Amino acid sequence: MAERKTKKETASTKGTTAAVKKQAPAKAAIGEQPEAKKEARVGVFICHCGTNIAGSMDITAVQDYAKTIPNVAYVDNYKYMCSMPGQAVINKAIADNKLTGVVVAACSPRLHEPTFRTATKEGGLNPFRFEMANIREQNSWVHMHDQEGATEKAKDAIRIAVAKATLLEDLFPKSVPVEKAAMVVGAGIAGMQAALDLANAGIKTYLIEKTPTIGGRMSQLDKTFPTLDCSQCILTPKMVDVGRSENIELMTYSEVESVEGYIGNFDVTIRKKARGVLSMEEGEAMGIVGGGCNGCGDCEAVCPVVLPNTFEEGMKPRKAIYIQHPQVVPLLYTIDFESCIKCDLCVKICGEKKAIDLNQKDEFVKVKVGTAILATGYDMFPVENKTEWGYKRFENVITSLEFERLICASGPTGGHMVRPSDGVAPKRVAFLLCAGSRDNTGNGKPYCSRFCCMYSLKHAHQLIEKMPGVQPYIFYMDIRSFGKMYEEFYYRIQDEGAKFIRGRVSNILEDPVSKNLMVFADDTLLDRPMKLEVDLVVLAAAVQPAADTNRTRKLFGVSCSMDGWLLEAHPKLNPCGTTTAGVFLAGVCQGPKDIPDTVASAEGAASAASIPIHVGHVELEPYFAQCIDEKCAGCGMCVNLCPYSALALVEKDGRKVMQVTEAKCKGCGTCGGFCPGGAIWMNHFATPQIIAQIDAFLLGGEQ
């Protein structure tokens, strides 16, 4: 077990002092409701949101009702409460009416809670003396055609919010220092770009990759649309940069094992899988002069075990000791221990370099990082599940990724495009778009995979360019050429002679002798069913989240949407963030993206992930649990319940009581709801506050 720690104590100490200062006044108030009982004066502010709210309910009736709620000292309404004049209304009312709490009845707190907290603060109150009543998303939008019902529901919502606002207390956000290091999981183009950006910004970055080399899917591609750059040619410089960057610590053939902690202080354990080969640095560290793997490949030549190379989509053999392709970074062989027979031939040929260790075991490395970026990428949808197209049943039905390898000069055929059954160059090639995408049958993916249209156009171009006389047929439902210069590319390919048939292929049959394929489709523009004999079929298969995405996302506490893609904090305004503070998303793991979008998303994620690191500390919402020591019996049952390992039993005044690590606590309330002695006080969601809300609802305003 190797311990690694980045030295960034200066920033840490600064952060801590700030934290202590800010948090000082909070403690005294636990479990008491000091001012609230004296005289609560709540101001209620009702937002029209243009006609979004006002169009579905009677604002005047709601306002008149709000005046009758106990403890309400002031009621007002405004067309847009979130606008500057709207906020000024709140501001002024707090001072004029000596308010102790503010209720804004408007949209979801997910949108404008921060806005109104700031307004409350500017009015001279503690920002946590603000409560929001959602009368838009949960009311006017869903009860658009029930004016009366919506009005009554708004009254309820405001009454409940006032009940809580009456009992709200001053709270002070906690500040925690941020470790000046970041982690990127997955080293495809997204992960590499994010890591390079972070490293160039001066941040120590751990780049974790589960396969033996970086590069990801992009390194499997031949050319890239619409500019037709050679994919490897534009990718390998970046791979080399990643390998050379002083700030990037590259860990290939490694996986994240566990994650503990919170934004600013993630403790990540990484499993370095046994690759059976020592790098030159490792060799040197072990005192073998001039030792370690130099990538000479002698071992590969003698290895007797032959397996399919996954990088070549299984179309080329590899040995049990292998590199996936000549341009791997790092240039370091890897032993596939699942198939290695330990014959020792490689050890003997390696000789004095002593690079091969057949008894190597997995190693665990612990690192501490401030923020993390997930860039776990995608896999191809197993398109053989759509049996009507015959993939894996008919030899000459291939996927687009197989096409990329077959047409690539460094691929299994040296770039000679041949069909698998007989090695003959095809004359007529059918491309099936939306193969498994835009499919609502359950056996397929409901979404658009977003880059298949464009790469299929590119494939058609490559055929026409490389093999004059070949006729590509593109079976499409819609061509989605939305990017910069994409529509122009579509025009170009049509001009070059690709035939576009608007119709989805219903099924494919194989001629058992010639191995040619009969493609059945409806030319919907001509309104005639067609049967087309072709030599090769290329399925533009859908993409789906990479196999281990689910495991990784659970480690980092990130949610996923129904189709398995990782869930962003907001689809439009926060596409790189997640609901877990300090964890960001880059590239296709968030949803299908082409290369430009992936790189943009990676740079966005890197920028977002560097902000807390550069600031040096983060403010956490003060929604943590607190222990009322006098009531705590020290049973310790809450400690194991906590999903964030935030609780511990400690000795205090000669007896055991529970203590909360506030920065770890997410305020979920599991412990507070459970504690048999009622000794746990949930800030901002305290039992008396919640009971008051329930009472206000059930008693209909009668106290």
Query: Binding residues for another protein, per CB under 8 A?
Result: 388, 434, 438-442, 444, 477, 502-507, 520-524, 527, 529-531
- The helix/strand/coil state of 380 is strand
* Identity of the residue, 411 or 503, whose beta carbon is nearer to another protein in the bound complex: 503
Angstrom distance (rounded) from CA 535 to CA 510: 10
Among left, alpha and beta (phi > 0; psi -120 to 50; other), residue 596 is: alpha
List the one residue out of 273, 274, 270, 258 whose CA is nearest residue 551. Answer: 258
Cβ 527 to another protein, closest distance in Å? 6
Angle made by CA atoms 34, 37, 42, in degrees to the nearest 5: 105
Contact status, residue 358 vs residue 296, Cβ threshold 8 Å = no
- What distance in Å separates the CA atoms of residue 655 and residue 94, rounded to the nearest whole number? 45
CA torsion, ordered 190, 194, 196, 198, to nearest 10 deg? -170
**H/E run at residue 510:** strand 507-510
Q: Shortest gap between Cβ of 427 and another protein (angstroms)?
A: 23
Pick the closer one to another protein by CB: 392 or 438: 438
Residue 59 vs 432, nearer CB to another protein:
432
Q: Minimum distance from CB of 529 to another protein (Å)?
A: 4
CB of 589 to another protein, least distance (A): 25
Contacts 24+ apart (CB under 8 A), 518-526: 519/430, 519/432, 519/473, 519/475, 521/475
Q: Considering beta carbons, is residue 227 or 440 the nearer one to another protein?
A: 440
Residue 567 Cβ, how far from another protein at the closest point, in Å?
A: 25
Residue holding tokens 């040296």?
A: 414
Alpha helices by DSSP H, listed for 201-344, are 231-244, 280-285, 298-302
Cβ contacts of 305 within 8 Å, gap of 6 or more: 319, 320, 339, 340, 341
Nearer to another protein, 377 or 503 (CB): 503
- Tell me the DSSP string of 56-90: TS-HHHHHHHHHTSTTEEEEEEES-TTSHHHHHHH
Q: Please report how close the Cβ of residue 222 comes to another protein at its closest, in angstroms.
A: 29
Strand 306-308 to 317-319 pairing: antiparallel
Rounded to whole angstroms, how far apart are CA atoms 315 and 321?
18
Q: Are strands 42-47 and 72-78 parallel, antiparallel or unpaired?
A: parallel
Nearer to another protein, 408 or 508 (CB): 508
CB 640 to another protein: min, Å: 46
| Shortest distance (Å) from residue 476 CB to another protein | 9
Q: Which is nearer to another protein, 88 or 477 (by Cβ)? A: 477
**What are the structure tokens assigned to 647, written together?**
């609780």
Q: Which of 250, 181, 240 is nearest to 209 (CA)?
A: 250
Q: How many Cα neighbours within 13 Å face the side chain of 557?
A: 15
Q: Looking at beta carbons only, is 479 or 675 nearer to another protein?
A: 479
* Amino acid in the structure at residue 602: A
> Which of 229/478 has CB closer to another protein?
478
What strands lie across the sheet with 471-476, from one edge to the other? 397-399, 536-541, 428-435, 471-476, 499-502
Nearest to 417 by CA among 428, 403, 430: 403
CB 519, min distance to another protein, A: 9
State the nearest-atom distance from the C-beta of 145 to another protein, in Å. Answer: 19
The residue among 506 and 579 lying less far from another protein, judged by its C-beta, is 506
Measured from the CB atom, is 346 or 501 closer to another protein? 501
Q: Which residue lies nearer to another protein by CB, 284 or 522? A: 522
Q: Cα dist. 130→23, 64, 445, 563, 581 in Å?
A: 19, 21, 43, 37, 22
